[in-house]
Structure 1
Amino acid sequence: MPPDLLVHLVEPATWRAALSDGVLRPPSLESVGFVHLSPPDQVHVPAQALFPGRRDLVLLVVDPARLRDPVRFEPGQPADPAGRLFPHLYGPLPTRAVIAVVPYRPPAPVVLPAPDDALGRALALYTSLPLRRAVGIGDVPGGVAVLDPDLPLSHDNNRLLLTAPVDAATVDAAAEEVGGNAGWPQRAALLAWPDAGAVAGELAARGWRTEELVLMARRGDRPVRGSGTRAEVVDQREVHDLWARSWRQGLAFLGDRLDPAVAQLVGRERLNDRVVAVTDVVVRDAGRVVAAGQLRIDGATAAVESVLTDPAARGRGYGDAVLTRILELAADAGCDLVVLEAAADDWPRHWYARRGFEAVGSTWSADRPA
């Protein structure tokens, strides 16, 4: 772990509220005048003292260089071992100083990315967000299973989320056990460790459908090409019709399950704004939403999601307008890194590359029928 990082242990709902305010102001700021921080190897002390037995918390990974107010290393509680000092931030914690948000589920090891580690920060976002929005979480070899019985047809909400290497047989067995007990209509997993492609290939040989997802990143302070003035921020409900049309086209093979699947995919999107700050951006043509995209902000890291244009409106620069507005909003929020996922074998990854995004790594999505 980078030695110059600090962490703060917090409940996910408290962090979400801080994202709206731009700063985190825990009760200690008023009662004792500072925010309790910890070096990574000391976070177990406040965890045991303040949240004994809790496994639903998150660690805010703080870059001290981004803090405006002084940090002083001072003694903790009298019960702490003699000579141990803790960093105290004498002012609120700016959300833009938080470079990653990582689940804290002891005794599972914690991996903290450095500020300049674009891949590590992207993985932190894409593997922690599903845990924070999940209805249920269970430990499995190599990671966790996330569950949401209200959205059984959404793979993103009901799958194994694996961040440590395991073999294909282990993935298959864990998915069968969890999915069978939970009544999943499919078995699904995300393989999110380096060089997971070999295991993805083994799963394909076992009848799984696999897809490589390229993680791409762009510095938030890079100049934005073009103008986002044609794009506007809207209530998410205004995007539902465009989403539904797009998913209906892509999921027509589901047959009788198409209608409930589309309803669940549209409905699940509201869950993201409960754990990260979500902004939906659209372009209209003759009053109708014909292009849209979503910005998700998690401290200093932002993600671009669901950029799409109605097929009849393509070729008019609407997608560019949406992406430009999203990048402008991310920069305004103080995000120094913007990330996204793109299918390795599809054209959008090249579209994003021409707009300044670079591939930094990949994950593998895998699923099969129950």
Structure 2
Amino acid sequence: MSTVLLHLIATAQWREVLAAGAVHPLPGAQFVHLSAPEQVALPANRLFAGRRDLLLLVLDPDRIGAEVRWEPGVPGDPETMRFPHAYGPVPTTAVLAVVPYRPDAAGRFAEPDPLPVDVARRCLFLEESVTRRTAATEAPVTGGVAVRTPAVAGSRQHNQLLVAGPTDAVTLAADADAELGGSPHRTATLLGETHRPTAEALAAAGWEAEEIVVMAARPGGSRVAGVEQVDAEALRPVWAATWRRDVPGVSDAAVTDLVDRNLLQEEVVDARYLAVRAEGAVVASGILLLDGATAWLTDLATDPAHRGRGHGDALVTHALAIAGEAGCDVVGLGAAAGDWPRAWYARRGFAEVERLWCVTAQEV
């Protein structure tokens, strides 16, 4: 792969592009404006200073298809600088990753941090990216950001710290107190194997720490008869029953938030809800998120009374087929390091590519 190229886009526009299958030149224009990573702050500051809803589409030039010409920018750009212009639609299958791009406190954009282009980092950061896109507010913390979404206050996923860069246990705990002190919980996701010492230090300090193995597989194959794509409303009762079964004593308000959080994804990513029925009732389900060339499989569950009948196999096989049809080249998921699904997914072609930790302070 050649050096990646970038395209600036608003969150709402990316959802429209996903539905259309490509970024098209604007009306009256001949090409799609692109940038190299070291250039992108120039158009961002000229056109979008202060905007907090921007995304960077990380593009593999070899997948764009259309001719890319390096041409002068606009008056005010360095005279010697040439920008890449794609003379034709840029397919979503060329998008390796979708990265939230935020300005500093003064509203200015800088050159982005290293971008997720390899399989491991693409899978590691997809769910984080989706969570950030759905957040009501975002604030910088050491090594990452704090996201808050009051509409689903009971969802730890949407009210937590997301930390990819360097931090330590003491700093993270202080950041959680400062940013999440009014939340029902203080939770953080530590993205990457390098955060193991921090997770272990927090566990020693009394935090609950769950190690998650990030796994990936190649999409493809054929759809499975008996698996259907449904709308979110068809799975609401299933999600609610699952939370009540798996979290004894959970409140009705929390269940509502945990169910509603899945609906937030529809606004920022292509969410496919998959189901298997028995005697008309949904007995197994899962969610496949399609985000350009990367997909994420989550919330795979089978009713206990219907386990051992191949429903999980059917859902995974069907999801891989859909991802392949959509032009994805990788499907990722997360599995608890010490639980049986990890080995179950491995037998179905998923291999470990990274690790992350979900840490939660134990309230007293």
TM-score range, shorter chain: over 0.9
* Counterpart residue identity of residue 310, structure 1: D
| Per-residue Cα deviation, 1:289-336 (whole angstroms, up to 9, x for no partner) | 000011100000001011110000011111111111111111110001
- 1:188 corresponds to which residue? 187
Matches within 5 A, 1:196-235: 196-221=195-220, 223=221, 228-235=224-231
Distance 1:258 1:354 in 2: 36
- 1:110 corresponds to which residue? 113
Matches within 5 A, 1:270-285: 270-285=263-278
Q: Does 1:261 find its partner at 2:257?
A: no
* Counterpart residue identity of residue 115, structure 2: L
On the 8 A contact 2:124/2:354 being kept in 1, the answer is no
- 2:20 corresponds to which residue? 21
| Per-residue Cα deviation, 1:116-139 (whole angstroms, up to 9, x for no partner) | x11111123122111100001011
- 2:236 corresponds to which residue? 240
- 2:346 corresponds to which residue? 353
- 1:55 corresponds to which residue? 52
- TM-superposed CA distance for 1:78, in Å, is 2.2
- TM-superposed CA distance for 1:60, in Å, is 0.1
* Counterpart residue identity of residue 233, structure 2: R
**Paired-residue identity, %:** 47
What stretches of structure 2 of length at least 5 have no aligned partner? 103-108
- 2:8 corresponds to which residue? 9
Q: Does 1:119 find its partner at 2:120?
A: yes
* Counterpart residue identity of residue 285, structure 2: A
| Per-residue Cα deviation, 1:165-198 (whole angstroms, up to 9, x for no partner) | 2110001111011112xx2011100111332111
Matches within 5 A, 1:111-190: 111-114=114-117, 117-180=118-181, 183-190=182-189
Distance 2:216 2:91 in 1: 23
Distance 1:310 1:194 in 2: 33
Distance 2:240 2:269 in 1: 23
* Counterpart residue identity of residue 159, structure 2: N
Displacement over 6 Å in runs of 4+: none
Distance 1:367 1:48 in 2: 37
- TM-superposed CA distance for 1:55, in Å, is 3.4
TM-score (norm 1): 0.93
- 2:106 corresponds to which residue? none
- 1:95 corresponds to which residue? 92
Distance 1:361 1:143 in 2: 18
Q: Aligned-residue CA RMSD in angstroms? A: 1.5
TM-score (norm 2): 0.95
On the 8 A contact 1:162/1:193 being kept in 2, the answer is no
What stretches of structure 1 of length at least 5 have no aligned partner? none
| Per-residue Cα deviation, 1:337-368 (whole angstroms, up to 9, x for no partner) | 10011111111111111010000011000012
Name the count of aligned residue pairs.
357
Distance 1:26 1:72 in 2: 14
* Counterpart residue identity of residue 23, structure 1: A
On the 8 A contact 2:39/2:111 being kept in 1, the answer is no
Tell me whether 284-293 or 104-113 shows the greater mean CA deviation. 104-113
- TM-superposed CA distance for 1:79, in Å, is 1.6
Distance 1:153 1:318 in 2: 29
- TM-superposed CA distance for 1:107, in Å, is 4.3
- TM-superposed CA distance for 1:248, in Å, is 0.6
- 1:31 corresponds to which residue? 28
Matches within 5 A, 1:314-325: 314-325=307-318
On the 8 A contact 2:127/2:296 being kept in 1, the answer is no
Q: Does 1:42 find its partner at 2:42?
A: no
